[in-house]
Structure 1
Amino acid sequence: MNFTGVSGQLQFDLEKNLIQPAYDVLNIGGTGFRKIGYWSNSSGLSTTEPETLYGKSFNTSTRTPHLYSVIWPGETIATPRGWVFPNNGRPLRIAVPERVSYKDFVSKDKSPPGVRGYCIDIFEAAINLLPYPVPRTYMLYGDGKRNPQYTDLVGQVALNNFDAAVGDVTITTNRTRMVDFTQPYMESGLVVVVPVKQVKSNPWAFLKPFTIEMWLVTGAFFLLVGVVVWILEHRINHEFRGPPREQLMTIFWFSFSTMFFSHRENTVSTLGRLVLIIWLFVVLIINSSYTASLTSILTVQQLTSRIEGIDSLISSNDPIGVQDGSFSWKYLVNELNIAESRLVTLKTMEDYIKALQDGPKRGGVAAIVDELPYIELFMSATKCAFRTVGQEFTKSGWGFAFQRDSPLAVDLSTAILQLSENGDLQKIHNKWLRSSECSMQLNEMDADRLSLTSFWGLFLICGIACFIALAVFFCRILLQYRRFSPETVEGDVEEIELPPRSGRRSLRTASFKNLMDFVDKKEIEIKHMLKRKSSDNKQEASPSSDGKSHSPS
């Protein structure tokens, strides 16, 4: 077929393909259009008329397509990424929850665009990073008397009543089945908050760092070490000698003065120094632990309830406060199997404060379960009168909800990541939300007290050192004592006629008394006596040997 038509020469090949086809490329904008180039088999996309290119050979695989600039919707020459909103189209309908509490996150505003808050600023900053304009209209959702149900809000987006939901919307499993969420712009999770109080001053507060068992064992070891050192030093150190009453006072003074490292008595013996060094190390550890524990007890705030986390809260029967409209109600009931009769709905921050201060006995609650961003703002506003206990028992985040398969969800996720990387996300956070300074750790009173369990190893080492030192000391004493006959310790013992039954017992008593007298003697006297006895033995042995050599045969 070959003929001339309205558009020019028309000719088809045997396979019914148009020979040398040519088309105009038009740029349509609104109700008008403009020609930006041509297309043909030989030239591809080009700004040159195809008729002038017929007969010329072109390699279309290497030729770069070229057209006049395209004006895209929004009066921009930047190429969009696939989804645009023409100026004459319907703007995006964005639902915003009308909150009655925690309005720093999102709230109604008289000036355009009609809403304000932390979540709105993040959404606007992310929209401005998109390479195409997004006309939008914010529409409040709720009656303004109580916080709306966020699951119902997400459901309205899924039903096409809204195009998106912007606000403090938590990303949950059930909600992701209805809509598409963006990348989380704030981390969140459920926490338990309880009231705290400052411990009142107590005249006996200095006794609280240690348990009763710890005090008793510590006092016993002070006396034990004092006695051991006195025994080891008594024979060679004149500072540990004297009348019995004076020696007893020395033991007590030396024992308890080591607590402050202010003992005046010097240790002379090697064994005494060994015991004292180990004991001073034990005292150093005990003093440091006592000081740290006492400081913690006097400065750290204490809990007014016995709730230590979600586990103890579940096991108790106390009422629990939850925020109106939050997903925490269904989570506590469906996931943690908490009875609905225990849950109390709280609408405002004032309700939080009153419920926690009243407590279960006066119609309040024992604890409140809510998301971490709300609780941080709540604790900052109440000047740390309340604290969280335990760890976050859910991990989630806040995101913007869009209808299924909406390209905006993906593009805004990329924009949120860009905000996080360049620091704008943190700047918006600092603008709207006060950082919580309630970082002081909470402890139970009993948890602050140090028990014997923490120090039994130190006491065991000290006890072993004392036992070894005493064993070595008495072994030396017994070896010295065996070198003497009982008569040489205090002179000859008078022979006394005793009844047969009491004779052996009296002899044992005399021997023990001799041993104690020997132990009580000074070391220098013992050495002098050993030396004298040794010389006497030599003198006795010398005449006997001489007499044997000169005896008649």
Structure 2
Amino acid sequence: MLPVLTVQSSSGDTIDFQVGIILDLRSRDSPVGQIGMSCLSMAYSDFYSLHRDYKTRLVLHVRDSNGSVVDAAAAALHLIQDVKVDAIIGPQKSLQANFVMDLGDRARIPIISFSATSPSLIPQTSYFVQTAQSDADQVQAIASIAEAFQSAFPKSASDDVITKELYKMMSMQTRVFVVHTSQSLGTRVFLKAKEIGMMSEGYAWIVTSGLTDLFNMVDSDVAEAMQGVLGVKPLIPKSKELQSFTSRLIRMFLQADDLDIKPADASVFGLWAYDTLSALAMAAERVGNNGTTSMKNKANVDPRCTFALGISETGPKLLQELLATRFKGLAGEFNLVNGQLKQTPYQIVNIVERAERDVGIWKPSAEVSRITFRTIIWPGDSKVAPRGWEFPANGKKLRIGVPQKPGFNEFLKVETDPSTNRTEVRGYYKDIFDSVMATLPYAIPHEYVPYPFYNPDGSQAGSYNDLVYEVSLQEKYDAAFGDITITANRSIYADFSLPYAEGGVTSIVPIKYEDAHNVFTFLKPLTKELWLTTAIFYFATALAIWILGSRSITASRDSPGQHAGIICYFPFFPGEGIRGSLLCLVLVSWASVANLLNSTYTASLSSRLTVQKLQPTVTDVVQLITNGDYVGCQQGSFLVGFLKNLGFKESRIRTYNSSEDCDKALMLGSKNGGISAYYDVLPHIRILLSRYCGKYMMVGPTYRTDGFAFAFPKGSPAVADISRAIINLTENGIIKEFEQQLSDNSACTVPDNNSSPTSVTLRSFWVLFLITGCVMVTCLLVSQFMYLSKNRPFLQRMSDFKAKILSRADAWSKYLKKSNPSSLPKTTSTGDQLPRS
């Protein structure tokens, strides 16, 4: 055993810095203390042999904590009060450091640990320095392994009863375990795990650096039990200094008769201990060169405790210099960030026989998906990566919950024989579930457990939300399937597979047929807007023809009736010059519109008189809400909340438990105790339309929702494999075949409300009306311009802004009299126009 000794200065000219060391020096369960003390002794000898010119020396005072928190605290208190140390290296364990660091904080003395790796230690006090890699750094590396092999991590075994806990874990689905314990407990765990068959194919074990680092010192039976284990430990860069140190360390342990451990390699904790003492000696030298001594002449009583502690003057400066120390040590770069050794890459090793095979390296900046693993030998001498979970082969079947209800069971019907209490499940969704189970690469023993929606007296006993919640509890059901829609609320409690049936919510309403013998049927081919626009353009065109015609025909004044006749037969007598051409343009453009309207009207009216027109009683949600109509949905579904979100009052929502009840309610209508529209998911809507052929039709938009899926408890490993099986069945067309068989059983074709004729809207003709209007206005403007250019006296008189209103009216009156035609134009036999009268 290494002696508990004090290393003193060899010269009176040097400045002494008192340093306490607290380690577990006699514990066989944890050899870190013995290795650490050996490395500290070697570091002390090597450092001052190399730096003989240093004006400072560390004086080491070693104390054994005996693996006890109380002994570690007592040793620290003695070193602070009596020895008046400037710093303490240790203690070894995190629980010990948790108490000792508080003493160091009160005395302003740095507590430096190379083996206490708990991440909870650093935030507590600035006087605690962690010169080891924190356990938090390992978490990311371990998570990288898990993600790479798609594994799940349960809690590791407890310290109480190893065998009981292992059997409990063996009965679980998880097959990946992380062991983060001391060497003593870890070795016993693996020995027992091998004994009960948990080190066989299909299992995966991962150990943290505390066990990985000390693997070279375990017995042969423990090493045999750990075959195939993956280990994580800090990556130590190779160097000549490290090789020389390792050789000397091993030789020292082999020559020491009083040491019961024989390491075959250098421990990372020993390397951290070596670098820690070197860093502390460098910091002490810089403090000493600044003229500070380790004298502590002041004493003070900390109000937080009942004993007196010497407040160190050197401690804060020593801490400041230590945190600023940077150098390349045996364990790699020594660099403290926020009082903690900077995170470095981790080495992932695979235990095969007595060796640790390097299979991968994790770097802090690397992403999980970019880690490349070499071939790994898993437990059971397997080269196939375990799935990370299995259904336990303990005779327990997976309890599959299936909704049991009197109606809406076209897709899934659940019946229980009261005499035998045997449950029979059949239907479309059951066929899909069986196909999915058959596709999985492993067998899942299961049984169907009914979930009754109604009590024997007819009252509601549960809902789909309740079924999903029961699955999350895993007390009665381990999974569930049926017409279970994925919703945001349900996903809080359970995990769902990919949908195996389409989603979407829509409504159906009763159909009413248009009466073809209605006296106003002749008005139906065109919409009101189109009728109104046609009339406006008819009269506008007639007015334009009259204006243009009055300027093209020179004759005596005629009666208004004669003017109307002129308008009707003027196209056959185009008159003279450009004015007659303008009139023709207006007539031609209007004739084009009139001919198209006439042909369209004729075709639409003929269709209406020969084909029955299907019309919904209600067209949209707004109309239902405005009218205060009642709407219905399936009882126990999510649709009640869905309809409330659409804007319906809860008092206007009625629920039904069978399609027959829905049919009766739709026939009655809102005013007679029924409903005006029924809402449901698309698969059920299609079944209703096919069952009640010709009575209902879908209206309004189809609201997007997720489809039907299998429900599992949160974190269930089966979800991923079942989702992949559903994808395969979809791509292979098997689910499509099931859907086709279901649709073939429908004895009716759903009426299509788009097959009947509809009224022609203004939108179909607005371009033609626009062209006609433009031609008409253009012709009028051209005619007016030509007339005004030939009647300049009139223009001059109209331009006289000083003329009175009566004068302007008189000018207009004479203008109209002058432009009034008197007779039709006359032509000679040769076609020459006769002179005007």
1:92 aligns with 2:398: yes
CA distance in 2, matches of 1:342, 1:243: 68
Pairwise CA distance, 1:266: 8.2
Q: Structure 1 stretches of 5 or more lacking a match? A: 1-12, 27-37, 45-60, 71-76, 255-263, 483-507, 534-553
Report how far residue 387 of structure 1 moved.
2.3
User: How far apart are 1:132 and its partner, in Å?
Assistant: 0.5
Match of 2:100 in 1: none
Q: What are the residue-to-residue correspondences of 1:433-452 with 2, within 5 Å? A: 433=743, 437-441=750-754, 448=759, 450=761
Moved more, 453-462 or 111-120: 453-462
Match status 1:522 vs 2:837: no
Deviation, 1:418, is 1.8
Q: Distance in 2 between matches of 1:117 and 1:372?
A: 17
User: What CA distance in whole angstroms lies between the structure 2 residues aligned with 1:191 and 1:140?
Assistant: 29
The equivalent of 2:638 in structure 1 is: 327
Alignment of 1:162-311 (within 5 A): 162-201=477-516, 202-210=518-526, 214-215=530-531, 218-219=534-535, 221-222=537-538, 225=541, 248=564, 251-252=567-568, 265=572, 269-283=580-594, 286-287=597-598, 290=601, 300-305=613-618, 308-309=620-621, 311=622
Contact 1:303 1:442 (C-alpha < 8 Å) held by counterparts: no
Of the three residues 119, 139, 143, the one matched with 2:449 is 139
Deviation at 1:156, TM superposition (A): 2.0
Provide the secondary structure at the position in 1 that maps to 2:434.
helix
Q: Deviations over 1:490-545 (max 9, x none)?
A: xxxxxxxxxxxxxxxxxx99997775456633367985538xx9xxxxxxxxxxxx
Counterpart amino acid of residue 400 in structure 1: F
- 1:241-281: per-residue Cα shift (whole Å, max 9, x none)? x9997985675589xxxxxxxxx958685324322332233
Q: Retained in 2: the 8 A contact 1:380–1:438?
A: no
Is the contact between residue 104 and residue 433 of structure 1 (CA under 8 Å) also seen in structure 2? Answer: no
Aligned residue runs from structure 1 range 439-518, under 5 A? 439-441=752-754, 448=759, 450=761, 458-459=768-769, 461-470=771-780, 472-473=782-783, 516=820
Query: CA contact under 8 A between 2:665 and 2:674: conserved in structure 1?
Result: yes
Q: 1:73 maps to what in 2? A: none
1: CA distance between counterparts of 2:219 and 2:730? 55
SS of 2:502 mapped into structure 1: strand
Consecutive unaligned residues in structure 2, runs of 5 or more: 1-213, 228-350, 358-372, 793-811
C-alpha distance 437-229 of structure 1, shift in aligned 2 (>3 A): same
Asked whether 1:313 is paired with 2:619, we answer no
Look up the equivalent residue of 2:660 and give its one-letter code. Answer: E
User: 1:551 maps to which residue?
Assistant: none
Distance 1:113 1:213, change over 3 A: closer
- Three-state SS of the structure 2 residue aligned to 1:387 is strand
Whether contact under 8 Å (2:550, 2:820) holds in the other structure is no
The 8 Å contact of residues 423 and 450 in structure 2, kept in 1 or not, is answered as no
Partner of 1:501: none
Distance of 1:130 and 1:511 partners within structure 2 = 97
TM-superposed deviation, 1:66: 11
Aligned to 1:54: none
Shift of 1:374: 1.2
- 1:200-256 per-residue CA deviation (whole Å, 9 max, x = no partner) reads 11242121244567535524644654675588689999xxxx9997985675589xx
The answer to which of 341-350 and 147-156 deviates more is 147-156
- How far apart are the structure 1 equivalents of 2:529 and 2:647? 42
Q: Deviations over 1:76-113 (max 9, x none)?
A: x9987343346652111111111322322101369998
* Residue of structure 2 aligned with 1:404, choices 686, 711, 714: 714
**Distance verdict in 2 for CA 1:78–1:196, change over 3 Å:** farther
Q: Which amino acid aligns with 2:401?
A: A
Could you tell me which amino acid in structure 2 is paired with residue 124 of structure 1? D
Structure-2 residue corresponding to 1:543: none
Q: Partner amino acid for 1:358?
A: L
1:293–1:450 contact (8 Å) kept in structure 2: no
The offset of 1:40, in angstroms, is 2.5
Counterparts in 2 of 1:412 and 1:243: CA distance versus 1, 3 Å: same
Structure 2 distance, partners of 1:457, 1:97, is 58
Corresponding position of 1:158 = 472
CA distance in 2, matches of 1:17, 1:220: 103
Cα-Cα RMSD = 5.1
**Aligned partners of 2:586 and 2:776 also within 8 Å:** yes
1:163 aligned partner, one-letter code? D
Instruction: Check the 8 A contact 1:84/1:133 in 2, yes or no.
Output: no
Q: Secondary structure at the match of 1:277?
A: helix
Counterpart of 1:350 in structure 2: which amino acid? Answer: E
- How many residues were matched structurally? 447
Contact preservation (8 Å) 1:228, 1:466: yes
CA 1:220–1:320 in 2, change beyond 3 Å: closer, same or farther?
closer
TM-score (norm 1): 0.65
SS at match of 1:396: coil
1:465, distance to aligned residue in structure 2 (A): 2.6
CA contact (8 A) 2:615 2:753 kept: no
Residue 549 of structure 1 aligns with which residue? none
Would you say the 8 A contact 2:402–2:482 is kept in 1? yes
Q: Secondary structure at the match of 2:509?
A: strand
What do residues 328-350 of structure 1 show as CA deviations (whole Å, max 9, x unaligned)?
124445x4564433222212111
Whole-Å separation in 1 of the counterparts to 2:661 and 2:493:
32
Distance in 2, matches of 1:225 and 1:78, equals 87
* Residues 99 and 106 in structure 1, CA contact (< 8 A), matched pair in contact too: no
Distance 1:422 1:69, change over 3 A: farther
Q: Deviation string for 1:396-439 (max 9, x for gaps)?
A: 22111112211111211111122222222222112224687444
Once the two structures are TM-superposed, the CA of residue 20 in structure 1 deviates from its matched residue by 11
> Does structure 2 conserve the Cα–Cα contact (< 8 Å) formed by 1:185 and 1:397?
yes
Structure 2 residue 677 is the aligned partner of structure 1 residue 363? no
- Using the TM superposition, give the Cα deviation of residue 475 of structure 1 relative to its aligned residue in structure 2, in angstroms: 6.6
Aligned twin of 1:491? none
In structure 2, the CA distance between the partners of 1:122 and 1:346, relative to structure 1 (3 Å rule), is: same
Give the match for residue 106 of structure 1: 412
Q: Which residue of 2 aligns with 1:487?
A: none
Q: Whole-Å Cα distance in 2 between the matches of residues 270 and 403 of structure 1?
A: 84
Contact residue 80 and residue 132 of structure 1 kept, 8 A: no
Measure the CA separation in 2 of the matches of 1:291 and 1:408: 65
1:358, 1:364 within 8 Å by CA — same for their partners in 2?
yes
Deviates more, 1:269-278 or 1:349-358: 269-278
Q: Match of 2:687?
A: 377
- Alignment partner of 1:282: what SS? helix
**In structure 2, what residue type is equivalent to 1:152?**
D
Is residue 665–residue 675 contact of structure 2 (8 Å, CA) maintained in 1?
A: yes
The letter for the 2-side match of 1:425 is I
User: Which structure has the higher relative contact order (CA within 8 Å, separation 6+)?
Assistant: 1
How much does 1:129 deviate?
Answer: 1.6
- Deviation of residue 369 (structure 1)? 2.4
Letter of the 2:635 counterpart: D
Which of 419, 422, 442 aligns to 2:729? It is 419
Q: Is the 8 A contact 2:404 2:415 kept in 1?
A: no
Tell me how far apart the structure 2 counterparts of residues 135 and 236 of structure 1 sit (CA, whole Å). Answer: 98
How far is the alpha carbon of 1:159 from its aligned partner? 2.3
Residue aligned with 1:115, SS: strand
1:187 partner SS: coil
Q: C-alpha distance in 1, partners of 2:655/2:222?
A: 73
